[in-house]
Amino acid sequence: MDQRKYNIYFHTHTISGIIIAALLFVIFFAGSFSFFKDNISAWQKGKSVTNGEVQADYNYLLDSLSKNYNLLGRNLDFYLLRQGQGSYVNLTGSQDTTISKPKPKTEKRGRGRRSADEDSAYFLYYFADKTPTSYAEGYDMGEFLYRLHFLAQLNQIPIHIGTPFGYLLAGVVAFLFLFALITGLFLHWDKIKTNFFVFRPWSKWKTVWTDMHTALGVIGFPFQLVFAVTGVILIVNFILISPFSKLLYDGNDQKVYEELQYNKSMHVEYTYTPLQGKFDMNGFVAKWQERWKGSKITRIYVRNFQDKSMQVGIEAKPDPAVAFAGSGFAIEEIGTGKILELKSPTTDRNYIDGVKSLIYHLHFGDFGGKPLQIVFFVLGLMGCLVIISGIMIWLVARDKQHIPAYKRKFNFWAANFFLAGCLSMLPVTAFTFIMLKMLPDVNQSVIYTTYFYSWLLVGVYLMALRNLVWMNKQVLILSVVLCMLVPVANGVGSGLWMWTTWKTGAFDIFFIDALFMALAVVCAFAFVRVQKEGKPFGILKTKPAQKEKELAKVV
């Protein structure tokens, strides 16, 4: 490779990497835990979904709703949770104006669209508890980390640029990450074969950082590339779709999303004629579940409830073991039993199913069970190590005597800021898990307050140390203690000790406790290594000549 190309790749890789370093670390760290979103939710609630199948009683739910609402003529939408343990329920005002008069509606952003109409409702319902709860009250740590991995919490910043700010920022980070990945591969292309297995963990620290960044970066390249590409598509798909909607659909975005099988619109005229007999929703769902064996029901749409024109739509996704790609839906007219539309999730696959399934399965790692999720988790944390080692290489490379002191101080403070924010995430996450079991009531506000305020305090404290080795030591020992306390907090707060969850078959709860125990062991090993060989940077305290001598000892 000639020098000019090398310089282009090097500077593009370095600049794009430094710009997105902190946010990319947050995305990778939170995204790694998001692979276990359902396990985390079960751990927090203390209710396993692996030691017994949850029976969804839709008739009971409808009967409960009928006590507070006259359901005649209403539309109901059910968005089932991934494990089927509950559903988000959206209830609109009645189409029958003799019952309710729908008021002007204003949309609010959040999980789904909610109406300000007092005659409507939007809530989360758990089938095991048979209790409804608002989205904020039913919010859990699994949902928090999942949404943090695409920076959804930043959507509350009042920056209006046509799309939620957090989603756009996550998309930009994913796009710049592509540049860093590709240019990084070009940089090391000539030495990939010779250096692929080179990792010298017992050498000097500069060598460790360089080997870690190069070896883990190359090994994890396919994984990181897949997540960068799929992340861009999932987060900023509105940018990709917008030109086509204007060119081919006259700006009708809703029609585009219907063609891409994201939405299914059902417009049914209300007849003011009651439906004969009572609708058995349990029987309806069971019929289609039996017909679509090897698939999971994901959404249910009810239109004009108990009216003669009543229609019910149902959507399903196949189990990846049965069919990697596919989606199914059916729309049935209840009064006549006529099937208006039908598409099998396993046999009627099309090109759109193939593309969407490939993107979703690769991004969420839900096609290989728990072993694949663990592999993805490890690869995700490897991405975090690549980011950390990249920051350290960047700092050491710019900490030379010929560089002006003010520039070296700026570089140190930049690295100090990045590392304080990144390294503090593990102890803060473990601390929040502990507080979930110690606090009497946990909701969205409590999780936000606990996580973000503790993150701020720990981050500011670590920055104030102005010593990267001390920062590492204190983060590691704090992580060891807090990660070890997570299963203890679960046992004290819920009575679910690890031996109890193992015996009862609550393996989803047991897994989270075991995961934090494993993280504690890894952090303990890293602490011993840093304790023996870590050398501090003296950029802010020593003179240049002294600094060069200390730096020579470190590297």
Q: What pLDDT, in 10s, does the model give residues 527-547?
A: 887 777 655 555 555 444 444
- Which helix (H) or strand (E) segment holds residue 80: the answer is strand 76-80
Q: Which amino acid is at 231?
A: G
Q: Return the closest-CA partner of residue 382 out of 251, 545, 542, 212.
A: 212
pLDDT at 146: 94
CA distance linking residue 525 with residue 366, whole number of Å:
31
Q: Are 48 and 507 in contact (CB under 8 A)?
A: yes
Of 217 and 546, more confident: 217
In angstroms, the CA 234 to CA 168 distance is 11
Answer yes or no: is pLDDT of 396 > 90. no
Residue 449 dihedral angles phi and psi, to the nearest 5°? -65, -50
Q: How confident is the model at residue 313 (pLDDT cuts 50, 70, 90)?
A: very high
pLDDT of residue 196: 59
Separation of alpha carbons 206 and 552, rounded Å? 10
pLDDT band at 550 (very low <50, low <70, confident <90, very high): very low
- Alpha-carbon distance of 216 to 121, in angstroms, equals 49
Q: CA 184, CA 11: separation in Å to the nearest integer?
A: 10
* Token output for 228: 């960068």
Name the band, by pLDDT with cuts 50, 70 and 90, for residue 62: very high
Q: How many CB atoms lie within 10 A of CB 280?
A: 14
Cβ atoms 430, 33 nearer than 8 A: no
Per-residue pLDDT reduced to its tens digit, 335-364:
998 999 999 998 888 888 888 888 888 888
Q: What is the pTM of this model?
A: 0.85
Best-predicted range by mean pLDDT (192-206, 288-302, 327-341, 420-434) = 420-434
Structural contact between residues 162 and 155, judged by C-beta atoms closer than 8 angstroms: no
Distance of CA 306 to the CA centre of its chain: 38
CA distance linking residue 419 with residue 410, whole number of Å: 14
Dump pLDDT digits (tens) for 268-296. Answer: 899 999 898 889 999 999 999 999 988 99
Structure-token pair, residue 428 = 């803060």
Q: What is the DSSP secondary structure assignment for residue 149, as one 8-state letter?
A: T
Percent of the residues in the chain that have a pLDDT greater than 70, as a whole number: 85
Torsion of CA 484, 485, 489, 490, to 10 degrees: -10
C-alpha span between 197 and 307 (Å, rounded): 68
For residue 274, the 8-state DSSP code is B
Band of residue 14 on the pLDDT scale cut at 50, 70, 90: confident
Cα–Cα distance measured from residue 302 to residue 72, given in angstroms and rounded to the nearest whole number = 11
- In Å, the largest CA–CA distance within the chain is 92
Query: Cα(239)–Cα(216) distance, rounded to whole angstroms?
Result: 32
Q: Which among 301, 389, 298, 283 has a CA at the least distance from the CA of 76?
A: 301
Strand-pairing partners, residue 88, are: 79, 124
Residues 6+ apart with CB under 8 A from 316: 288, 292, 295, 296, 297, 298, 327, 328, 329, 345
Question: Is 514 strand, coil or helix?
Answer: helix
**What distance in Å separates the CA atoms of residue 394 and residue 411, rounded to the nearest whole number?**
9
Q: Tell me, what's the pLDDT at 32?
A: 94
Q: Strand, helix or coil at 307?
A: strand
Q: Is the pLDDT of residue 473 over 70?
A: yes
Q: 393 CB contacts (<8 Å, ≥6 apart)?
A: 206, 209, 210, 213
Report the pLDDT value the prediction gives residue 291, as an integer from 0 to 100.
92
Residue 505 makes CB contacts below 8 A (sequence gap 6+) with 48, 50, 51
Q: Collapse the DSSP code of 351 into the 3-class scheme (helix H, G, I; strand E, B; otherwise coil) and give the result.
A: helix
Q: Which helix (H) or strand (E) holds 220?
A: none
The phi and psi torsions of 274 (rounded to 5 degrees) equal -65, 150
- Predicted local distance difference test score (pLDDT) of residue 552: 44
What is the mean pLDDT of the segment spanning 12-29?
86
